[in-house]
Structure 1
Amino acid sequence: MTAQKNRGRRVVAAAALAMLSLGVTSCGAINEQATTFQYAASDGIVLNVGALEVRNLMLVTKSATDKARLIGSVVNSTDKPATLDLTLASGSVSIKVPAKSVLNLEKPENEKTVPSAGVLPGAQAKATLAVGSGSQDVGIPVVDGTLEEYREYVPGGFDPKGLEHLTPSEKPAAH
């Protein structure tokens, strides 16, 4: 009887182990592996418009109605200069990109602003990006100075008072 008990325990243990391994590996059978996805690992958008490559494009502003600055990069791998035209409801801007170059919009000499983003930080501003006769409608992420890395790009300067609501305050003890 002891041999049958041991065999029964082994069968139950093997079944439990099989179920455990199925549970651990089954997510890979029905879900695509995350490392196979290509995506923009940033706050801005990444896309190609005509011959230009737009990388990490976003708008930095204080509010929906304040001036907004474009940041990101535009890559021109061609032998000819090209112009990226960006149009929002509040206005438009043209970005001239020399041949075989990367135009970094964070650099002061490349600064581009629009009258407003038209939406609050945290939303996406509807825009049209055009190069020559090709164009794309996109949503450009809008950020403010909440994240330190964007504070230097806020038109008119960043006001830390805008963060006061994010600081925890002590609550009086309940009696």
Structure 2
Amino acid sequence: MTAQKNRGRRAVAAAALAMLALGVTSCGAINEQATTFQYAASDGIILNVADLDVRNMLIVTKSATDEARLLGSVVNNTATPQTLTVALATGSVSINVPAKTSVKLEDEANKTILPSAGVIPGKQAKATLSVGGSSEEVGIPVVDGTLESYREFVPGGFDPSELTHLTPSPKSEEHH
């Protein structure tokens, strides 16, 4: 009788362990793993246009009507030079990317200026990115110098007084 009890207990324990394992792993059967999502880990967008990889693209400007600077990287893994055209309603720019290289728009040598973003910082500028006959319609995030890391890229320079509206003012004491 004791051997039969032990076998029964082992069967129950094995079933409980199987249920526990199923409970721990089954969420992966219903929900996709977060690590499988491709997303922009920074403020810019990530996409591929034809053979070019566009990484962390965004626009830095003071306002909707001031000059705007394009930031990010464009990677060309092919053996032939490629040109990326970024067209907004306010104008367009072309970025030449030599074969097997990347162009980092933050570098002074690759400074790319648009007439304006056409939208205020905090919005997305509608744009068409094209390479040869391929194109993608995108919304490129527009930022200003509120975040310190973008201040050096604001066309015309960043004026810290533009942030005074973000500083809380001391409240006067109320007397009842």
Shorter-chain TM-score above 0.5: yes
RMSD of the alignment, in Å?
1.9
Runs of 4 or more, structure 1, over 3 Å off, are 27-33
User: For 1:72-87, what aligned pairs fall within 5 Å after superposition?
Assistant: 72-87=72-87
Gaps of 5+ in 2: 1-19
Pairs aligned (count) = 153
Residue 156 of structure 1 aligns to which amino acid in structure 2?
Answer: G
SS in 1 for 2:103: strand
Following TM superposition, by how much is the alpha carbon of 1:166 offset from its aligned partner in structure 2, in angstroms?
1.1
1:68 aligns with 2:68: yes
| 1:156 pairs with 2:156 | yes
Per-residue displacement from partner, 1:10-48 (whole Å, max 9, x unpaired)? xxxxxxxxxxx9xx97x9475433233221111000000
User: Residue in 1 aligned with 2:37?
Assistant: 37
Residue segments in structure 1 that go unaligned for 5+ positions in a row: 1-20
Question: 1:169, CA displacement in angstroms?
Answer: 1.6
Equivalent runs, 1:1-175 vs 2, <5 Å: 28=27, 31-175=31-175
2-structure distance, mates of 1:28, 1:173: 53
TM-score (norm 2): 0.82
- Once residues 85 and 93 of structure 2 are traced to their aligned partners in structure 1, the CA distance between those partners, rounded to angstroms, is 6
Deviation at 1:162, TM superposition (A): 1.0
Aligned-residue sequence identity (percent) comes to 66
Question: 2: distance between equivalents of 1:64 and 1:45?
Answer: 19
**Per-residue deviation, residues 28-83 of structure 1 (Å, max 9, x unmatched):** 47543323322111100000001100000000000000000000000000111100
Distance 1:50 1:31 in 2: 31
TM-score by length of 1: 0.82
Q: Which amino acid aligns with 1:164?
A: T
